[in-house]
Amino acid sequence: MKEEIFVTKPYLPPKEEYMEYLDKIWETRHLTNHGPFLMEFTDQLCELLDVDNCLPMTNGHMALEMTIQAFKLTGEVITTPYTFASTTHAIVRNGLTPVFCDVRESDCTMDPDKIEALITDKTSAIVPVHVYGMPCDVKAIDAIAKKHNLKVIYDAAHAFGETIDGESIVHFGDASMFSFHATKCFTSIEGGCSVVNDQDLMLRIYQLHNFGIMNEESVAYVGANAKMNEFQAAMGLCNLKHFDEITVQRKAVVDLYMKLLAGVKGIRLLDYNNEHIKFNYSYFPIFIDKDEFGMSRDEVYDYLLKNGIHARKYFYPITSEFECYQDSGFRGDVSIAKRLSTMVLTLPLYPDLATDIVERICELLKTAGKKGKLK
């Protein structure tokens, strides 16, 4: 029986490293509520991200939702539908109306040339997404935000550890959020992190993520429980030690895919050869043109699945097409995002993905194209 290959596989550190932290947890019985490992994890994140303020949380969604809430926004927020459900949900759950901006064909990030046409007197913020770890055009978005006095909150779930011209990706915009979910290139089992440039705002996020509690006798905000526990923080501390080597391994897999799939007619790849960007190689999406390739994306998905390869239609459908938003009336032309969502397939990518498996996946793709053209 052939081994089933999934789109991702969580990285786990050497068990003995994690056990050392567990022994200390058993000794202290400090399980949650801002324990010593969380404090240590916070300090190490600040150092890696080159920031003064960050706050790890129980998951990336709560980090985004709490961050948006802290800005006390009103009205409309310009965002992208080419993203995971969390982005749109976090906006809507804060009582705000998402306005969808289309994406760029080249990298699937928000198209800054289409933002200004969506701005109204109700617009209070922009929430772009660094999709697949492809950074948005941060300078163009920043210029538009400053011109119209808008806040910029980046969904950076896919972009942990990345830099632009040597500068941490969290230095752009008013705030950023990361996800440390098990499927991400850096994981704390579940988890996430909020990063803001303003210390007073960071304090508000801190209070919001702990029920809005100010002190033992005062609750000033309608908050939530988004605190990260000590088990998550311990995993984060372990995995931070290995993040650089994990990134190198992921890059090797991406480089091999790029080499083997270069020039395959009907398959478009994203550009990782950008000297200005230090990537983390979160995902490896391909875009399949049925007319040129011979098979549709869905047919390729099924063909790979029959051969034990579990790829993913990531992102499909776009969030504006979710059932829960069908009667919402949210506006925005997203024709490019919709078309890309019907073409995209993310291939398996994790640090220890064997070379021969990558070669087999690429050969299957080439075979699929030949079969399609013979139909």
Judged against a pLDDT cut of 60, whether residue 198 lies above it is answered with yes
Q: What is the pLDDT of residues 23-42, one digit of tens each?
A: 999 999 999 999 999 999 99
Could you tell me the pLDDT band of residue 369, with boundaries at 50, 70 and 90?
confident
pTM equals 0.97
124, 73 in Cβ contact below 8 A?
A: yes
- Beta-carbon neighbour count of residue 156 at 10 Å? 27
288, 345 in Cβ contact below 8 A?
A: yes
Question: Tokens 């080419």, residue?
Answer: 82
According to the model, what pLDDT value does residue 371 have? 75
Question: Between 2.160.10.10, 3.30.300.20, 3.40.640.10, 3.40.50.800, what CATH number should domain 15-101+108-240 receive?
Answer: 3.40.640.10
Least confident of 60-64, 182-186, 214-218: 214-218
> What is the total residue count of the chain?
375
Question: Tokens 């993310």, residue?
Answer: 346
257: its two tokens: 């895919």
Residues of the chain with CATH 3.90.1150.10: 243-374
According to the model, what pLDDT value does residue 273 have? 93
Judged against a pLDDT cut of 60, whether residue 1 lies above it is answered with no
Q: Where are the alpha helices (DSSP H) in the chain?
A: 15-28, 36-49, 60-70, 85-92, 138-148, 199-208, 230-240, 243-261, 290-293, 297-306, 335-341, 355-374
Amino acid at 143: A
According to the model, what pLDDT value does residue 375 have? 59
Mean pLDDT for 271-294 is: 96
Sign of CA dihedral 243, 245, 249, 252: positive
Q: What is the pLDDT of residues 111-156, one digit of tens each?
A: 999 999 999 999 999 999 999 999 999 999 999 999 999 999 999 9
CATH topology of domain 243-374: Aspartate Aminotransferase, domain 1 (3.90.1150)
Could you tell me the pLDDT band of residue 276, with boundaries at 50, 70 and 90?
very high
Judged against a pLDDT cut of 90, whether residue 197 lies above it is answered with no
263: its two tokens: 């020039």
Residues of the chain with CATH 3.40.640.10: 15-101+108-240
Mean pLDDT for 338-352 is: 98
Distance of CA 123 to the CA centre of its chain: 24
